[in-house]
């Protein structure tokens, strides 16, 4: 309440009571809090005295969390007093305790949430190191800050990727395995029941809610069983405390001469950008997080919030101008310092905070070449300024291939798992045009009045896998055109009723290098494990069947594909967790074995997505381009078309994972 003297009065009454009853843990907490009040009052020396009394008490009673927190507060106090070296020692000790505590949490979700709760320690550490770098630029503090950034990122994903090759069921009690199997059967039954409910014309909302609650409960029980199995595994120490968290030389080894890493850390007072190549390294200070977030929110809203289908040419031009302006403003904040370093390199981007939702392809190229640019040795003819609605805007994708990573350490782990594996013998497996209700037929005629609604159907995403899903008009057309690029022996497909759970989980999919799913996506922000892709809800006899391939299922699949494409809405999103980024379907597909994954960041237009996917596969299969080069060529191809220039149509899809 700002009444600091009153706070001191009460804390000073509590202190002798703690001592009288021998509550040493409580005494340490009270001493720390008195120190914090004195710090707020500006009496730094007194604050130090109390914090230094609290520290040995926490150690004496084994309160490691309290010890870390006291060290953090001491570090903060010393930094404010200008004692940066002393502050560095204390925050370093605090981080060591956090890292140790983290490994002792068996449950993956709890480990993740604990790590999220202490992310501010890492942000403080990074900021302190960058302050020291300002004072002593030759001491390597900025490189250490990059390493701390790596240590703070995607640890859950790194552990999952590590565990992908571990025999975690070796030596496990058969009763545990039997319980795991029982829960899987119960889960299958409830999923089938949910599909039946959703297929009714007037589904009972209460029964749907109850069934969804039961599904969540069974998933939680299943996760508990998996954690018990994981805890028995002798390799668990390495799984929860991986050694491959990279420092600068290790990060540089993951890059090639044509690639530039841009790694971001957004902070309350300052944000930072590290630009890394195999033989160079620079660091930059950026504006504080709130300023970047404001600009990013504006751009993101414009990217996925405009209903421009069917709009007049004037309204489309206005929308493009607003998006271009917002893209330029964000680019000035996060790209301007490094603009002269970009050249025409491939950009590998490790983002932070709100930047996870922004496709860098749409950012403004701050050093554009007006008439043409070279990309991979080829000239690209660009739209004239007049056809770009008089907007001086050239998207970053024109000069750069772009790929996203949750961290470079996760890439290194992923590469290690992919190393030496055999390339799948066949080319393409494709699932498209599922049946979402008993009266939904693949040849059902559509009148012209409904064409606008159908054109937007792939954007009809709900924030949970409930409610009815509308048929996708262009899904089958998209799939057939892609399939035509591949000879019969090299392809496998499932359309209509056959685009079902059985096909999606079939072992034969492990024989294909490219996996393509053209359907709806559903994403549960509160319970990411319930997110998934929607498959046929009924069979050919009209009977309900399990219809959601959820994140939990994907973790148990074998998809050793070179590329997995989710041609659906917002498949790149997931729950935002500090230190983990967006925990969505991407991590599940990487765990299942996908070398790289193409996903979307917002609700996408059905027709333009179909066009994008057809061109994407032509670039890969006919032009023999890598997925990153193919996506870049496709997005430029669409940007050059007057009706599709708005990034809403072409920028939603991003690539994550391996770029070689």
Give the pLDDT of residue 374. 42
Enumerate long-range contacts of 321-326, CB under 8 Å, 24 or more apart. 321/389, 321/390, 321/391, 323/299, 323/362, 323/646, 323/647, 323/648, 324/364, 324/391, 324/392, 324/393, 325/391, 326/295, 326/298, 326/299, 326/302
Domain ranges for the chain, please list them. 4-156, 167-234, 248-400, 421-657
* pTM for the model: 0.81
**Is residue 584 over pLDDT 70?**
no
CA distance 352 to 580: 9
CA neighbours closer than 13 Å in the CB half-sphere of residue 499: 26
Among residues 572, 581, 449, the alpha carbon closest in space to that of 521 is found at 572
Give the pLDDT of residue 440. 64
Q: Topology of domain 4-156, per CATH?
A: 1.25.40
Q: With b meaning 16 or more CB within 10 Å and e meaning fewer, what string describes 514-547?
A: bbbbbbbbbbbeebbbbbbbbbbbbeeeeebbbb
**Is residue 171 over pLDDT 60?**
no
Q: Categorize the per-residue pLDDT at 298 as very low, low, confident or very high, splitting at 50, 70 and 90.
A: very high
CATH class, range 167-234: mainly alpha
Give the pLDDT of residue 458. 41
First to last CA, the chain: 56
CA distance 72 to 69: 5
Q: How do beta strands 581-584 and 574-577 pair?
A: antiparallel
Q: Categorize the per-residue pLDDT at 447 as very low, low, confident or very high, splitting at 50, 70 and 90.
A: very low
Among residues 468, 426, 407, the alpha carbon closest in space to that of 561 is found at 426
- Give yes or no for a contact between 285 and 266, defined as CB atoms under 8 angstroms apart: no
**pLDDT tens for each residue of 77-91:** 999 999 999 999 999
Query: What's the whole-number mean pLDDT along residues 327-343?
Result: 95
- Could you give the C-alpha distances from 485 to 390, 433, 499, 598, in angstroms and in order? 38, 19, 20, 19
Helix (H, G, I), strand (E, B) or coil at 332: helix
Tokens of residue 50, six digits = 């109390």
Among residues 566, 424, 557, 563, the alpha carbon closest in space to that of 501 is found at 557
Give the pLDDT of residue 335. 97
**pLDDT tens for each residue of 134-168:** 999 999 999 999 999 988 875 655 665 555 454 44
Tokens of residue 468, six digits = 């009815």
**pLDDT tens for each residue of 368-401:** 554 444 444 444 445 544 344 445 789 999 999 9
- Could you give the C-alpha distances from 5 to 40, 80, 133, in angstroms and in order? 11, 22, 38
CATH number listed for the domain at residues 421-657: 3.40.50
- Helical (H) or strand (E) element with 522: strand 521-522
């Amino acid at each position: 309440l700002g009444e600091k003297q009153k706070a001191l009065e009460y804390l000073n009454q509590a202190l002798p009571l703690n001592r009288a009853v021998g509550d040493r843990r409580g005494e340490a907490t009270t001493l720390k809090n008195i120190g914090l009040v004195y710090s707020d009052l500006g009496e730094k020396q007194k604050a130090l005295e109390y914090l230094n009394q609290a520290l040995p008490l926490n150690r004496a009673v084994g309160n490691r969390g309290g010890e870390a927190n006291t060290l953090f507060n001491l570090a903060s106090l010393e930094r404010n007093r200008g004692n940066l070296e002393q502050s560095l020692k204390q925050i370093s000790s605090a981080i060591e305790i956090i890292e140790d505590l983290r490994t002792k949490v068996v449950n993956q979700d709890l480990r993740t949430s604990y790590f999220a709760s202490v992310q501010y320690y890492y942000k403080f550490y990074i900021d302190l190191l960058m302050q020291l770098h300002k004072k002593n630029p030759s001491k390597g503090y900025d490189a250490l800050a990059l390493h701390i950034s790596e240590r703070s990122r995607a640890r859950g994903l790194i552990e999952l990727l590590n565990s992908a090759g571990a025999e975690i069921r070796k030596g496990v009690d058969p009763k545990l395995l039997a319980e795991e199997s029982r829960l899987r059967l119960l889960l299958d039954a409830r999923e089938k029941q949910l599909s039946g409910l959703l297929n009714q014309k007037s589904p009972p909302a209460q029964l749907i809610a109850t069934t969804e609650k039961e599904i969540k409960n069974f998933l939680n029980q299943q996760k508990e069983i998996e954690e018990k199995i994981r805890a028995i595994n002798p390799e668990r120490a390495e799984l929860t405390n991986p050694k491959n968290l990279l420092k600068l030389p290790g990060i540089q080894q993951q890059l090639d001469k044509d690639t530039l890493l841009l790694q971001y850390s957004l902070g309350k007072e300052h944000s930072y950008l590290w630009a890394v190549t195999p033989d160079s390294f620079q660091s930059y200070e950026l504006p504080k997080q709130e300023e970047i977030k404001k600009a990013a929110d504006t751009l993101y809203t414009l990217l996925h919030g405009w209903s421009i289908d069917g709009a007049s040419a004037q309204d489309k031009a206005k929308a493009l101008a607003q998006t271009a302006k917002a893209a330029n403003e964000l680019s000035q904040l996060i790209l301007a310092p490094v603009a002269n370093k970009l050249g025409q390199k491939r950009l590998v981007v490790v983002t932070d905070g709100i930047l996870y939702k922004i496709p860098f392809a749409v950012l403004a190229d701050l050093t554009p070449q007006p008439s043409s640019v070279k990309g991979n040795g080829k000239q690209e003819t660009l739209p004239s300024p007049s056809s770009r609605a008089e907007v001086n805007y050239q998207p970053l994708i024109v000069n750069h291939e772009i790929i996203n990573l949750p961290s470079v350490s996760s890439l290194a782990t992923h590469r290690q798992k992919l190393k030496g594996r055999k390339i799948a013998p066949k080319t393409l497996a494709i699932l498209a045009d599922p049946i979402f209700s008993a009266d939904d037929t693949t040849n059902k005629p559509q009148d012209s009045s409904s064409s606008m609604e159908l054109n937007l159907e792939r954007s009809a995403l709900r924030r949970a896998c409930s409610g009815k899903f509308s048929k996708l008009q262009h899904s089958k057309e998209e799939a057939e055109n892609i399939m035509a690029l591949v000879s019969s022996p090299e392809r496998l497909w499932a359309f209509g009723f056959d685009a079902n759970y059985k096909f999606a989980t079939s072992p034969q999919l492990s024989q294909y290098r490219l996996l393509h799913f053209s359907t709806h996506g559903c994403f549960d922000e509160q319970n990411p494990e319930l997110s998934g892709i929607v498959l046929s809800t009924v069979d050919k006899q009209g009977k309900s069947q399990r219809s959601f391939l959820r994140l939990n299922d994907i973790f148990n699949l074998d998809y050793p594909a070179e590329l997995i494409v989710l041609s659906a809405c917002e498949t790149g999103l997931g729950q935002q967790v500090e230190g983990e980024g967006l925990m969505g379907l991407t991590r599940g597909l990487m765990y299942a074995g996908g070398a790289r994954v193409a996903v979307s960041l917002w609700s996408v237009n059905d027709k333009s997505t179909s066009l994008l996917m057809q061109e994407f596969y032509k670039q890969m299969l006919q032009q023999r381009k890598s997925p990153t080069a193919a996506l870049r060529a496709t997005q430029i191809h669409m940007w050059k078309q007057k009706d599709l220039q708005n990034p809403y149509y072409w920028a939603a899809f991003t690539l994550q994972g391996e770029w070689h």
